[in-house]
Amino acid sequence: MDSCNFSWNNVDTSLDLNTKPLLRLNDHLLPKKELPTGNFSELIRTKTFSVKQENGALVEELKRVSEENKKLTEMLTVMCENYNSLRIQLMDYMNKNNNSENNNKESKKRKSESSNNIGMIVNNVSESSSTDEDQSCKKPAREDTIKAKISRVHYKTEASDTSLVVKDGYQWRKYGQKVTRDNPSPRAYFKCSFAPTCPVKKKVQRSIEDQSVLVATYEGEHNHPHPSQMEANSGSSRGAASTLQGSVPCAASLGSTGPTITLDLTKSDKATTTKELDHDHNDQHKVSKPRSMDTPEVRKFLVDQMASSLTKDPKFTAALAAAISGRMLQPNQTNKW
Partner DNA sequence: CGAATTTGACCGGCGC
Partner DNA sequence: GCGCCGGTCAAATTCG
Residues that bind DNA (CB under 7 A): 110-111, 114-115, 117-118, 172-178, 180-182, 187-189, 193, 201, 203
Q: Which is nearer to DNA, 102 or 114 (CB)?
A: 114
Run of H or E including 219:
strand 213-219
- Smallest distance, Å, CB 107 to DNA? 11
CB of 207: closest distance to DNA in angstroms?
A: 15
Q: Which is nearer to DNA, 147 or 201 (CB)?
A: 201
- d(CA 280, CA 232) in angstroms, rounded, equals 9
Burial 32-58 (b: 16+ CB within 10 A, else e): eeeeeeeeeeeeeeeeeeeeeeeeeee
CA–CA separation, 165 vs 216, rounded Å? 10
Query: With respect to DNA, which residue has the nearer C-beta, 170 or 172?
Result: 172
DSSP H or E segment with residue 198:
none
Compare residues 91 and 153 and give the one whose CB is closer to DNA. Answer: 153
Q: Compute the least distance from the CB of residue 105 to DNA, in Å.
A: 13
Q: Which residue in 155, 152, 164, 151 sits closest to 263, CA to CA? A: 155
Least distance (Å) from DNA to the CB of residue 80? 43
CB of 130 to DNA, least distance (A): 17
CA 157 – CA 118 distance, rounded (Å): 30
Q: Measuring CA to CA, how many Å separate 56 from each of 28, 43, 46, 66, 92?
A: 11, 20, 15, 15, 54
Residue 94 vs 153, nearer CB to DNA: 153
